[in-house]
Structure 1
């Protein structure tokens, strides 16, 4: 995913004649919601304007399928964070349309879909469950997330490198031998959040297992750098050392959830602290504005990579709720990045354009619309600005007291942790209850921090 962006006057765009520039006062919840509404509306308007006969639930070329899943997840969060439900029916129908047989392996994607792609959609469904989001049909959002967990636990591959998930699901796809941080990272986050939502410790055991594997193969270092991947053909002896904001944010969020679930266990506290420190790698010139260091400066970021910073911002905001002791560090990043990102956007409706380089004073000069390939830029701006609303949002829902969300993990995989099989209910105070307490306790303090 410069300090000068933080002090930019709200009137400045008009002085330079930037017609229709979007601005935000990060000290005003109403202003934040207004900016988020403009950006969310641009995404939905662009989707609704797709040619007749386009597949329901996704943008096509030049966008990849996973990004549509990330987009719907962001719009589910938009509804929860702002209270604006005007897009809910469209979002619910779109998200449900890509479920396939209940595990996000739809016929239009099965030949090319990877593990990281599938888990993006599973996390979107879990977000819908957590937020009590509307359902277009009978069934439970959380069941979709659990089904994907089952799929991926069965794919856990201990025949090479001692475990982990491959990038690709099918042997005939290029990249099948690659074991990447986002595939196992998303599985880690899915497991942690399912443990949080259901209170079932089988999921938390899988979260422990997947996090440890990332450490064992050095995709996650002692300094909490997160590297892109490694290859099973070399027995994972060599590592691709590129660092991206997206998998970094995913692991930071998952570690924070596990910190919360374990009542502040030292292992997870150390991990969360490590991520909060290492995030400076993604800050331009030691400022707090997020940058995608691997590709922004040389203008090499592709369609996928331009969405990464926004997804990282979402994870940082959620991490701050689960582990309030790092809230100040992440909120500082989110505040200055949100202002810089939004002020690199202009226009309205489907014509909104956003820039990719938030640190750049004139980032709106390279701004691009969704129609022209700028979904990642617009989604990124939406994610980082609405991330400021997490501290004041209502607590997430849980499935512990409902029959439709009763956990029943059964996948064993080749390296199943003990406890896999029948559901293992957690006695006493549920993990989800602890999470709700975290949301409630941080809400007031967080709102004051935003308004500071």
Structure 2
């Protein structure tokens, strides 16, 4: 799960790669250079995964300390890697990983993740399937299923969990009430639901998804998790979401930026969504330093980024790159940020395959690390430079991927605070949820500052 407001001890002792002194040489203006560096970074991730797979024999998972959500983000990035670079050597491996984690109801709800399964975790995998649909990712590993139907099933299950009983809406962080964090409503859960709805709206042309995207965004604003286009972490549902945790993460901000850019495109450049996109662009400076290089303002300079937080700039870079495509009026500024960040990220990486390591800091002077989040982040920002010149993400009408673009199918029952799903209420319904244990959110934030 995204431990967005909790503190984990850094797994600095975990060594997956040996050090090498030669930094990766990246020319941000040369496609072949970009593809070459991306290939090195993808190769390092795959070498780590194959090692972990050899030990666990469970496709789709990385070993501790990496949670299930981060694996979903990594495999989604490898789906993008295949599309952006044309290097499809890992497609079967990625397809196998995604297939093995589909779980119950064909909605990325694997039983072995129940104890830590959050809405944000599930939607991370759903967004990976969405990328596979948009990119025309082909693999025989998912049998008769289609990528777009998997993404729809994730959306359907989360739409039924939309909780209007507390805080007038929003998604809880956790799916099951017995999990710690159930009473917390965080921006990443509602934000990724917003993004999934917006991308489904673009892919299918179905207004139901657009309506849900509007609803998710407006709720996040109304409850105060978005204030003047700053995106804050979350709030306690047991307290009526009255006390907002105002810590800011680059991934949250970028995910809302990407979703707003999709909606700008879906609505053919409406004034409303142009204003929203421009507002997010203006506040993106919070996450930039040293000439526009991305950094994690909440934890990077104080050295307190935990394992999850070390992957956040990768998520941010990926979303900013796509936002620039769907809202071209922000492309110049975001491209400048991505180029500076990619150059800094590459300079902080050295070695290859099992000996690859990267720094968490893209502004220099960072300690090289073997961490998955650091290598994923470098891959995401480097290959993000290819997005502007790539073929536009497809829709159902021009690629024919998956099923029809009709109404949401509500195939996936929503998990609640018990081991059994409730009766199917339809994607437009709200799932009745029990109140979980309250969290001392404000006290937990202090340790990060």
* TM-score, L = length of structure 1: 0.84
Q: Given the alignment of the two structures, is residue 278 of structure 1 paired with residue 283 of structure 2, yes or no?
A: yes
Whether the 8 Å contact between 1:409 and 1:420 is mirrored in structure 2 is: no
* Bigger relative CO (Cα 8 Å, ≥ 6 apart): 2
Query: Are 1:257 and 2:274 an aligned pair?
Result: no
Aligned to 1:325: 329
Provide, for residues 112-171 of structure 1, a one-character-per-residue CA deviation record: whole Å limited to 9, x for no partner: 200000000000001001101013122101111100111000000000100000000111
- CA 1:270–1:403 in 2, change beyond 3 Å: closer, same or farther? closer
Candidates 383, 386, 389, aligned match of 2:386: 389
Q: CA distance change for structure 1 residues 404 and 333 in 2, over 3 Å: closer, same or farther?
A: closer
Question: Is the Cα–Cα contact under 8 Å of residues 149 and 191 in structure 1 kept in the other structure?
Answer: yes
Structure-1 residue corresponding to 2:41: 39
Contact 1:228 1:244 in 2 (8 A): yes
**Does the C-alpha gap of structure 1 residues 403 and 47 become closer, same or farther in structure 2, counting only changes over 3 Å?**
closer
Aligned 8 A contact 1:112 1:173 in 2: yes
Rounded to whole Å, the distance in 1 between the matches of 2:362 and 2:256 is 23
Unaligned runs of 5+ in 1: 1-16, 422-452
**Does residue 23 of structure 1 match 2:25?**
yes
Count of residue pairs the alignment pairs up: 393
Contact 1:157–1:165, Cα closer than 8 Å, also in 2 = yes
Tell me the CA shift for residue 395 of structure 1.
2.0
Counterpart residue number, 1:156:
162
Q: How does 1:346-361 map to 2 (within 5 A)?
A: 346-360=350-364
- Counterpart mapping for 1:353-372 below 5 A: 353-360=357-364, 362-363=365-366, 366-369=367-370
> TM-score scaled by structure 2?
0.85
Equivalent in 218, 221, 242 of residue 212 of structure 1: 218
1:111 aligned onto 2:115: yes
Contact 1:20 1:348 in 2 (8 A): no
Partner of 1:436: none
Are residues 1:294 and 2:293 paired? Answer: no
Q: Which residue of 2 aligns with 1:169?
A: 175
1:257 Cα offset (Å): 0.2
Secondary structure of 2:230's aligned partner: coil
**In the aligned structure 2, how far is the partner of 1:199 from the partner of 1:52?**
44
**Structure 2: where are the runs of 5+ without partners?**
1-18, 415-425, 430-449
Partners of 1:354 and 1:404 lie apart in 2 by: 37
Would the aligned equivalents of 1:410 and 1:420 in 2 still touch at CA under 8 Å?
Answer: no
Provide the rounded CA distance (Å) in 2 between the counterparts of 1:293 and 1:43: 26
